[in-house]
Amino acid sequence: MDWSERIRQLHENSFGYLDLLIARPGDLGELIDLACKGDTAAERIADALSDMLTIVGRGSHRNPTPCTGCNRPLRPGKYAVVMAHPAAMVTAGDIIGMAFCSRCSRTTEATQRQATAALRRIWPDARLARL
| Angle, in degrees to the nearest 10, between helices 28-36 and 40-57 | 150
Angle, CA 114 vertex, CA 125 and CA 83 arms, to 5°:
75
- For residues 45 to 84, the per-residue mask of contacts with Zn ion, x marking binding by CB under 5 A and - elsewhere, is ----------------------x-xx--------------
Q: Which of 80, 83, 101, 115 binds Zn ion (CB under 5 A)?
A: 101
The C-alpha atoms of residue 1 and residue 129 are separated, in whole angstroms, by: 26
Sheet containing 79-86: give its strands across.
96-101, 79-86, 17-23, 127-128
* Residue number, 25 or 69, with CB nearest to Zn ion: 69
* # residues contacting Zn ion (CB under 5 A): 5
* Residue number, 14 or 114, with CB nearest to Zn ion: 114
The site for Zn ion (CB under 5 A) is made up of 67, 69-70, 101, 104
